Structure 1
Amino acid sequence: MKIYAHRGVASLYPENTLVAFQAAARMKCDGIELDVQLTKDGVPVVIHDETLDRTTDGTGWVKDFVYEELRKFNASYKFGEQFGHCPIPTLEEVCNFISHTSITLNIELKNEIVSYPTLEEKVYDLIHSYKLKDQVVISSFNHESLKHFRSITKDVQTAVLTENTIENTVDYILNLGASGYHPNFSTVTRELVKELDRCRIAVRPYTVNEPQVMQKFRDWGVESVITDYPQLMFTEPLR
């Protein structure tokens, strides 16, 4: 079973920062999950919330700042002086980092609340520029955005991200041209895993933070899990 570090190693490092992604690489995680939005001047940046308030020492909407303004905010302020000043990274900085590794990058398009025209195109351009098409999975709660991304390219994997159970799951995923399913872990059943596996659809539940749940999914043959605690996979005695 593969391990994706959710927003980097978010349990130990400032989420969605380069130090968190570098930690995931040191832990030899198979993948990194992150979130992408656009600044006021159209720069793809890596941050989960649509506002700055929870994860940085700034306040306001990401979309209302140009990137040079965003760089001034500290994404590690909750950690005191432990990591110094960690700016909100650009997706390009992350792509450059990933291009020197074998890590898979799960890019979540954060556009279900704020509409970001051209987000899909800008993300694809960076994937193409850094030759990462075989190292990237695109996901989103906005399934129209996934459909739009598939209209741009069919060379990059996409995955349906969902909080709730989807009826006729296989048909729904295939109709979107996706090859992956990223459900809330609490909605996953053994039967669903078997069904999706038969159709060669990769199941990557989020956010799996309990060792016993990780072990259950491993026993079920789940392809990957997305977790805040990848370190548990290396320190907990799994069967």
Structure 2
Amino acid sequence: MALEWLVINAGLSLPEGFLAYLPSLDYLHDVQASASSLSAYISPAVKASLFILGVVASLINASVIPSSLGGPGNAVLEVQAHRGGLGHRTENSLWAFAHAMEMGVSILEMDTVFTKDGVPVVWHDHDISPEKCRGDFVGAYIANLTLAEVKSLSCDGQLAEHPQAKIYQDARIPTLEEVLDLIECYDNKMVTINLETKLDPLAPNETLPVEKYIDDIVPLLERRGFASRTTIQSFDWRTLIGIKKKFPKTVIVALVELETLMSINGEYPWLGGLNLADFNDNWIAAAASIGAEIVSPGHGFPWTDTIHTPGYEPFVNEDMVKRAHEYNMRIIPWTADDEATIAKLIDDGVDGIMSNYPQRVMWVGREKNRYVPRVGTKHRPHCLVNA
């Protein structure tokens, strides 16, 4: 990140021969094509100093610099590829995550649910939908299937809402470890993960128990060296509370939508035992109380609409962003796909945007001087032979 930022903002040139000595930074090979020489007035001596500083930062492992480049209100917009960017490629597939890295996204957003034999797979739904998959177990819950049974499915359905997405025949549901393998194979030390735990406090029989999520996810990430590069998000705050208590260094993200903020018989089942009445109905304060560093609300109602849709009601606004920042939390709404809504959210001051079309967020963010372009990783087909 440091070297890339300096190249872009100081108008530096990277000699191809030099890059040969930085094999871990091959994603920068095409940087000259993307960088804008924004500072013609910087002297050659200053440019040389910045260049050396960038090289040093890279050599001491620039991956330790967070993709967010700071805390709440930071000028650099985080771009999250929702389910890998399902508007571009088959959702939550290795193909999608590879393409997102090739685009240069900041964060790979994905979901995880456990199989019957206790393996976390990357899949959004509790069950296998006929709209998305083909095979003998369509309609079954992941929690009732072994990994072998899940792997027998071909999940290459073309979603009606995203007809332009490129679909890969016989795409398989990946395990969480296979996604980590892909990131390592792409040698992408910059991208981070936003991992959602998929379970429902109102439908406990559809997934493995909440304890499985609390106990098993972070140790897997620690073993693979991804714990510091992963945030854990959930609508079901039981997982966030449990994970934060057991693994306090984990960054947790409080997901919310209108349904999860509504009481049922005086209780809030999605909020892990919290009662919004204790917080004067301030859900941001409630999220802060459980140690959430990020809040992630739907951008409006219904979230599938745009700001120009008749009847659309915005949820995220400048006041909400200000309140989140007052609690020293970042705010990253989901899931904005059209340029008008994306632009409105950026104007509200959000810290990032989750989108099925991350390229649109990049484009609008760049127009508004909120996005620092990243050059994506080159395509590596050998990393996708089992996709």
Please give the TM-score of this superposition, normalised by the length of structure 2.
Answer: 0.58
Which segment drifts farther, 110-119 or 156-165? 110-119
1:85 aligns to 2:170 (yes or no):
yes
What's the % identity of the aligned pairs? 26
Which has a greater percent of strand? 1
Give the alignment of 1:27-38 within 5 angstroms. Answer: 27-38=103-114
2:180 is paired with a residue whose SS is: helix
4+ runs deviating over 4 angstroms: 234-237
Report how far residue 133 of structure 1 moved: 2.2
Conserved 8 A contact 2:317-2:345: no
Partner residue in 2 for 1:23: 99
Q: Gaps spanning 5+ residues in structure 2: where?
A: 1-76, 160-165, 262-275, 301-314, 369-387
Give the alignment of 1:182-221 within 5 angstroms. Answer: 182-186=296-300, 187-221=315-349
1:7 is paired with a residue whose SS is: helix
1:116 aligns to 2:230 (yes or no):
no
Partner residue in 2 for 1:227: 355
Partner residue in 2 for 1:158: 252
1:78 is paired with a residue whose SS is: coil
1:179 to 274, 282, 293: 293
Task: Call closer, same or farther: CA 1:36–1:230 in 2, change over 3 Å.
Answer: same
Report how far residue 171 of structure 1 moved: 2.0
Task: Call closer, same or farther: CA 1:88–1:176 in 2, change over 3 Å.
Answer: same
Conserved 8 A contact 1:8-1:33: yes
Q: Which residue identity is paired with 1:69?
A: E
- Which of structures 1 and 2 has the bigger CA Rg? 2
Q: How many residues align?
A: 239
Q: Which residue identity is paired with 1:109?
A: T
> What whole-Å deviation, never above 9, does each CA across 1:113-155 have from its counterpart, x for those lacking one?
3342312222112210121222111111111111111122011
Which segment drifts farther, 50-59 or 17-26? 50-59
Q: Gaps spanning 5+ residues in structure 1: where?
A: none
Q: Which residue identity is paired with 1:56?
A: C
Which segment drifts farther, 212-221 or 15-24? 212-221
Partner residue in 1 for 2:124: 48
> What whole-Å deviation, never above 9, does each CA across 1:139-184 have from its counterpart, x for those lacking one?
1111111111112201110011111267313320121111110101
Task: Call closer, same or farther: CA 1:234–1:149 in 2, change over 3 Å.
Answer: closer
Please give the TM-score of this superposition, normalised by the length of structure 1.
Answer: 0.93
1:144 aligns to 2:238 (yes or no):
yes
Partner residue in 2 for 1:96: 181
Which segment drifts farther, 31-40 or 95-104? 95-104
Report how far residue 200 of structure 1 moved: 1.6
Q: Which residue identity is paired with 2:117?
A: D
Structural RMSD (CA)? 2.0
Conserved 8 A contact 1:98-1:105: no
Partner residue in 2 for 1:107: 195
1:138 is paired with a residue whose SS is: strand
Which has a greater percent of helix? 2
2:84 is paired with a residue whose SS is: coil
